[in-house]
Structure 1
């Protein structure tokens, strides 16, 4: 007999007997605790269901408090004239209810009930009938009218759908200031009622079974079964004796064995409130059957353990000797095939483990050598930049991506000026050092937005490549506009202007750059490279140390744009920028209530330059940050000056760009300016576009909170043009929404624009925000906005933006003359 067999005869009894003893003890213990585990499962599921129903109830009650604050609801209940109430006030109220239902789809009905139970206004989801318009005889209204609490809720069967629903209602008590005394106490005007669909809870009840044949079910105090996953098993009502046994069980949250569904069952109960009892049940047959199955499983596990022990003994030798040797053989085969990314799973400290470590080290050395060869194949050995071969692949990839996406890209071809002189005077070693330093500066001067985004499997992230000698290329994919390439070329020339320190020598060098734009200057790689090379030689002919577009028209436009940027840099220090002020008036009274500060550039030679020309340049160059800071300080200074003149103070809004919002601590700037000028913070307001505030990260959100704590107002400009969301309106401390002029322009002709405008006004007022309409130019637009409750208007109907001195005259003149003069000037 082999040693392996002899060891098996000894080991099997030593393992089998203890396992059998442990298995028997486990069976006895688990049989005793099977009912306890079932009780824990029942209690857990009942607790989860109770918490979920209570959460739904509390959410509904909280929303009732919020919905009842709506001004439209108050206006509706205080409107005594039926014609006015139903024709004028009810439609916007129902639209407000519809907006609530879009936010909470589970609210089947939102209703206004009069004190006598009449259903005066109702908004229901499609498909829900209305069989009980007179609510005074329904169980819910009877309990609602009889109760003294202002907020009432109950879980009842919905007579309209025949399913269990949550009913929640709040008393609306108001004082009619027109007909009643100021000291009169509020009296009941009606109820705001929600009907909450509990179909999701029913699905959970059906899904959360207890075992295979157990179930969760709900009944009301009269014994009517509000829900059971299998209605045929238990019927529609519980008998009186059975209900008498189950009710105390629910009140005490206990467990008992009761006769249910034709046999003994373990039953657990929970009372959510006086109207809803929850129960969980499991037949005893299944409970005992589980214990028997558990015993059989333990016996099978014990037998399996004996067999496994025998198998482990046989496989031990294979695992310790045969399989490690087989792994080493497979590793040798993989290395021979060229697969060098090996991980040999052998960690023993014996001779086999040492041999595996040797194989692993050999694989790593070969992999490093392979990576070095791959790097040299695609990179320049001197600078480490992508070489000509890799450049061609990057260019082809960029072109394919640009064609698919339909956007522009640029290729910059760079050649050093007088590089041969460095080699001739300082030697080729110095020339190599210069190229290395040049590559570092080129890579460092590119911004993140200039880099090429390749797929995640590629490690070629740089856009700078060396073609050979002193020739370099830069790829600029996904251009916003062709002039961005000139900005990059300008940065490159500026980066090369400081001297290079080569072997204790200061070496000055410059470069000539040719620029081609896809697809205008070529649609394939060869054409783009050829045209960029031609443009580069044109740059050398123009005196070197400059850049040239392949297209002459682009050169002229780029030069004009660069000239305008340079003049804009000096405009701020020369005092050429001015703030114009456009008044905002109350839509109802046409009284001037605030103003918006708008930046203007008065060039000494070109005259007034349109903001459409210089604002985009300021954004791209980053000048907008300094210009925005100046605007804040100038507006505060001007406001303080007007106060000294005795002019009636009105708040002034200053626009902030998204770039300034991201890169400047606006709260610190405003706080310092307010402190220096001594201006009342309530007279300053900052405006941010909707797109800028939607992209705000946590530090930016905190800046807005800090501004709000200072007392500065916050407005969202161009509202409706971005991805509007109630969540961010609640998240940010916003005071005002400014409806974008694109909606106001055709508000009288376009029904969609009119609907959107009404919705924005209604939503803003429900959130207690002020609404301003921009771009109001006609009396018809004014009348529409006034009729729909818009708070303020702004536009040429009132006044065009005017200098500070003219704004003072505007404020000091009679209101009617202001507006007539403004209309004549604007038309």
Structure 2
């Protein structure tokens, strides 16, 4: 059946109201502008009359300020101000108590206007309130604090185009609108009434034209239900409608006869179909059950074969198959793909500290975050040109991979890598512990870095390990130089593991000179590696390598034993004064058994404990466990001296350091080198010297290279100097002659005497 078109009626009604409101709004704006124009014309007329009252221009100009209040009587004017052409205020009158001066200067009001023109400027007056006191919603609706300031030129000199003054009138929009409101309401009511009357007439005409169609719709609906009575057709129904109704009735009679024949045939057929259907349904249920069981078993086997049981991510087997397919397609269609190889930083330490259950929970959370980040990444979605453009996999342990297929550029891969770094580095709660786990990502591009799975995986793995060495928690693209560097590093690691047994490590010694006696009172033992192929390798190269492969403790033990060996040789020569040897300790060597290792070395070579100095860094003292203090006291009780190395570079406080049984404080070379750089650096060294003296520690300045540094340190109470100014690190055979009493006295006297001239 036909229904009234309510959306159409609503649309027409809305348009009618909008047209009426628009007409009312246009009328209101015209009345507003007309009111302002009328006020301006009256003001111009009044100004002309006032200027014409006298022929004397000075008298006329003198009367204008006195007559400003008369302008406030005009509709909408809230203030009147008289300005000289230079902008000086000559007079002011206001209907607003709070307004004591013009809100804007003349230059702003007449910006860009010719001198003889009447200017308008619309602005707002802060805290404006109508003289009638109305500051409510209606006041804001009628203009609020909006003003239109009109400036009128006033010329007292006849036949002159240049004005003698300017009259500024402030017209409040609210004051102008208020008398217009009744007229606007009448216009709005008349417009709405006219529009609604037009709408009623239109609806009446529409109903008159559609009424026959509605009646025909009712007849068609009854015919569909099998009922049609032509005698009940309305008298005003036309012949076409009657003809349609008759044809519908004839079709219905024929259809009823056909349905009766079909009903008989269907009854016979349905019984036979019911029997067959029941049999087929039973067999179908049995077959469906068997297929479902087989599918479930197949899916279980497939998941066991292709998916990781811990994270539910694809495992290495599925990863390899998919990567092979992607590489073949990339080669065929000349596309590019990227393999991102993830490894979690310090995962073993977390696993060992919190247990394997926590480690498994951590891996599940990492897998979930990776999958979620990949699904939510807009950058990845833009790479979607095939069914599975990205695949997250867990290869085993804490190693994950993400494959990006059909990439457009390396920049897109970088954006994804940075996003995944942010996602995985966010804090996570594992068994009640808040952990921050950072990943390191190696990136290889196919097929340019490798055109097979093994090669691409190896390249990404190499890039990941290189990124770890560069500082972890980052990403790095593979390049072919990495493979060469890794091979060289691997060979260097192998050589370093055998360096001790092959007697390739050497101890060099740098003298510590007492300025008071000119004698060497101590030697710092520094390890060197004499590689048969690469020559002398510095500690800065092989010590980090030793830390990575876990042999730092072995090198430290060798250094302590070798230092005691040379100490025994020094003791056998009568130098006339005691000489100590300092050995650096790393955090990897520091343990509760350190004092036993030191005692074994001293006893093995028959060296007095007081001749051995162990140098500790601030960070080692701060970061080692709760047993640090006990171990230091054991060493002190043994008679070994303890020195804090690189003092001032850490974050320890004086009160904290005072708890440790220290004998010596070494001023770091970074402070010594910057003594000449500024007063602040010199003051810092003086402060460190004062701190050492207050703690009763021997002071040693290392890295002294210039005469000015020596003089400054000597003048500030530092007596023991170590640095290239006296000697570089030397083999024992070359440093031994320097141990004679007063060996450096002549050099010291020359350096200090030159500075005093």
User: Do Structure 1 and Structure 2 share a fold, with TM-score over 0.5?
Assistant: no
Given the two structures, how large is their TM-score scaled by the length of structure 2? 0.42
When normalised by structure 1's length, the TM-score is 0.38
Larger radius of gyration: 2
